Structure 1
């Protein structure tokens, strides 16, 4: 793939009710999530208004839930070699949740938890059509209907920087003070500011949070409430003039939105 090692290349919602998730996110974000595909695996592409994909939805079946899987959004980071990455991450204190495996035509991937417990997929995708220069465009700093920001809330931000930096090439050039919460440490990669890491709030466990771009936070909040979701924080204005909203969808997955007021 043409995306540099260490780039976010996919986002995935794990949900026990993909039909309910479609109704909710189509209304809130403006997506058109595809119907259930043929076959046993219920994995649906999240279609954007411009014809591209924003990610996918995997149905959480009962067996997955019995093993502890819960509704959640997960991110995939592209790496040059999944096996070598997992070995290096484990040596730095990560825990392997799902060891490397391959899916024909899709790629090789693994699921890890960083030393503080935040969960993340790593993947070396099979280039679509065999084109080695093919790139993923699911992340954009400003395009609506795509993830615009990747935020890691963790019990030890400095340890997180020390972990991810050498493995993925992420660097922290700037930090914004947040009072009692400490610093908001911005993350840069190949001259792209793609996210940040900060301390956890309210005793929440370490986790990644992915902010989806919407046209209007006020409109999106009304849609969230109308579709049975629950706002949990915001809307709040953030530096730069954007507004954010956190909440839980009707199936229980936390989501985050960013956009104009």
Structure 2
């Protein structure tokens, strides 16, 4: 079983319209969904699956979060062997605990933190000792790239590499936008092992945030589905190193997400 500690492995959308989001992403990404544990409540947690199995969940924004002004948002969970100990350790390294460790019945123990620059991430230790296998690289519907729009580039880079053991690859000069630092959660240094990047937050992005790139086949076909479903393309399609094409977008409820795919793919 794969070691998921220190790596993003589960992705969660909190939204104002779960059913609308399920329909939108189902069309754009081909996801299937089912209520967690067979729940039949009026407001279930839906587990979504891509081509290689479950990858995340979609839920309504909790009342307490809505009262605090939370807008629709994609978040990511990083695997933890001990959520309480990791929350304390990461706080000493410059993170801030936004929600103290607590149990999710039938799932595991989690906490919500901000990194030194202010971007939010979650820690999770599942109840099951078996864990889950990560999807193969670039599996359809799964996350193929993780991108941090950092509020403090130097501190955040040191934080993720130092605290989670991520490795670094090429640092690309983007001119006035600063440096785009390739990172790998799995420790490899060559380009094939890179699965994310850290860059200074662009002016047009209002707050530091993690952006997750979901894999599609043909990027142009996906763009048309995003538009037809009520989403908005913010940037792209744009070619990136390695031959892929990307877009950044918002879904109909306003949550920011991204896609990566090919041109002319089936």
Same-fold status (TM-score > 0.5): yes
Unpaired segments ≥5 residues, structure 2: none
Change (3 A) 1:179 1:147: same
Unpaired segments ≥5 residues, structure 1: none
Alignment partner of 1:34 is 2:31: no
Offset from partner CA, 1:120-147 (integer Å, 9 cap, x none): 00111122xx43xx4342x543111100
List structure 1 segments (4+ residues) > 4 angstroms apart after TM superposition: none
In structure 2, how many angstroms separate the alpha carbons of the residues matched to 1:4 and 1:249? Answer: 28
Change (3 A) 1:39 1:216: same
In structure 1, how many angstroms separate the alpha carbons of the residues matched to 2:136 and 2:148? Answer: 17
Residues 11-22 of structure 1 mapped to structure 2, 5 A cutoff: 11-22=11-22
User: What corresponds to 2:149 in structure 1?
Assistant: 153
User: What corresponds to 2:167 in structure 1?
Assistant: 171
- C-alpha contact 1:141 1:149 (8 A) present in aligned 2: no
Residues 91-110 of structure 1 mapped to structure 2, 5 A cutoff: 91-110=92-111
Residues 120-135 of structure 1 mapped to structure 2, 5 A cutoff: 120-127=121-128, 130-131=129-130, 134-135=131-132
In structure 2, how many angstroms separate the alpha carbons of the residues matched to 1:25 and 1:173? Answer: 31
User: What corresponds to 2:238 in structure 1?
Assistant: 236
Structure 1-normalised TM-score? 0.91
Change (3 A) 1:114 1:222: same
User: What corresponds to 1:83 in structure 2?
Assistant: 84
Q: What is the CA-CA distance between 1:8 and the residue it aligns to?
A: 1.2
In structure 1, how many angstroms separate the alpha carbons of the residues matched to 2:97 and 2:103? Answer: 16
User: What corresponds to 1:25 in structure 2?
Assistant: 25
2:137 to 141, 156, 180: 141
Q: What is the CA-CA distance between 1:60 and the residue it aligns to?
A: 1.3
Q: What is the CA-CA distance between 1:5 and the residue it aligns to?
A: 2.1
Larger displacement relative to structure 2 (143-152 or 169-178): 169-178
- C-alpha contact 2:119 2:151 (8 A) present in aligned 1: no
Offset from partner CA, 1:182-208 (integer Å, 9 cap, x none): 211111233242211011112422110
Q: What is the CA-CA distance between 1:150 and the residue it aligns to?
A: 0.6
In structure 2, how many angstroms separate the alpha carbons of the residues matched to 1:20 and 1:63? Answer: 21
In structure 2, how many angstroms separate the alpha carbons of the residues matched to 1:43 and 1:9? Answer: 17
Q: What is the CA-CA distance between 1:20 and the residue it aligns to?
A: 0.3
- C-alpha contact 1:172 1:187 (8 A) present in aligned 2: yes
Give SS of 2:20's match.
helix
- C-alpha contact 1:140 1:147 (8 A) present in aligned 2: no
In structure 2, how many angstroms separate the alpha carbons of the residues matched to 1:101 and 1:242? Answer: 39
Give SS of 2:194's match.
strand
Give SS of 2:176's match.
helix
